[in-house]
Amino acid sequence: MQGKRQVLCSIKNFSYRKWGREIMTSGKEDYLKAIYIISEDHELVSNKELSDMLHVSPPSVSEMIMKLQKEGYVDYTAYKGSKMTRKGRREAGKLFRFHALWEVFLVEKLHFSWSEAHEQADGLEHQTSDMLAERLDEFLGHPEHCPHGDPIPKADGSRKGLTFRTLSGLAEGDSTTIRRIVEDYSLMDYLQEKGIHPDMRVTVKEKEPYEGPILLATEAGDISLSYKAVEQIFVDE
């Protein structure tokens, strides 16, 4: 769950999206995104998990969950948690899709860094229509992953291919392929400077005890990373 909490590290409040779609405050959208992320690991999402991820009080979570249930985005069961409805999963998946498409555009076409693109996409996702997303997807050649490796949801909100095995769990001598990196501003800057990227083949050359640094062998040479960083790099299962 540590990596999942950081996916929402740069949440913004109270902008609106129009253009032929249901208007929803970005506060509600952020709850849907959080539920979507957690439910990819387990179906029922507790209010405590949402409170921890979004850094809001339990009463605020309860109030928002009631609103989302009334509007048909989640089904809530007392003392168990919330389950996304088909409507809720479609809406949340679209938000991630819009965000990821803008990240690809900003990195590939305008040469933004990962963190710069993430910051800009956080605002653009709330102002994107279905038609604009379709045109953007076509213009970019239908990308399957965002620049830091997350699979891009389909138009119906579904996505597949998430990996949850972290690089920190490998032993010396193990080889793997990096698949995705947590959306955290400082982490993305750190790893880009180090030359780390999705689809990169790496071998754990040295692993210091007590959560010390890890030395990776790559085609570009040896790269040393902090333990905190490798905990947030996901690799092949």
3-class secondary structure, 25: coil
Domains and CATH numbers, the chain: 2-88 (1.10.10.10), 165-235 (2.30.30.90)
Lowest-pLDDT range, 5-9, 118-122, 131-135, 181-185? Answer: 5-9
pLDDT at 82: 97
Binned at pLDDT 50, 70 and 90, residue 24 comes out as low
pLDDT tens-digit profile of 207-223? 999 999 999 999 999 99
Examine the pLDDT at 72 and tell me if it is beyond 60: yes
In which element (H, E) is residue 64 found? helix 58-70
Pairing of strands 81-84, 74-77: antiparallel
Examine the pLDDT at 177 and tell me if it is beyond 60: yes
pLDDT at 156: 84
pLDDT (average), residues 7-11: 40
pLDDT at 2: 46
pLDDT at 11: 36
DSSP state of 45: B
pLDDT (average), residues 170-196: 96
In which element (H, E) is residue 204 found? strand 201-207
The rounded distance, in Å, linking the Cα atoms of 184 and 44 is 25
pLDDT tens-digit profile of 195-211? 999 999 999 999 999 99
pLDDT tens-digit profile of 104-152? 999 999 999 999 999 999 999 988 999 999 999 999 999 999 999 999 9
pLDDT at 20: 37
Note whether 232 and 187 are within 8 A (CB).
yes
Examine the pLDDT at 155 and tell me if it is beyond 90: no
CA end-to-end distance (rounded Å), the chain: 17
pLDDT (average), residues 16-38: 68
Average pLDDT of the chain? Answer: 89
Binned at pLDDT 50, 70 and 90, residue 26 comes out as low
The rounded distance, in Å, linking the Cα atoms of 137 and 143 is 7
Note whether 128 and 114 are within 8 A (CB).
no
Which residue is associated with the tokens 């069961």?
77
- pTM of the model as a whole: 0.83
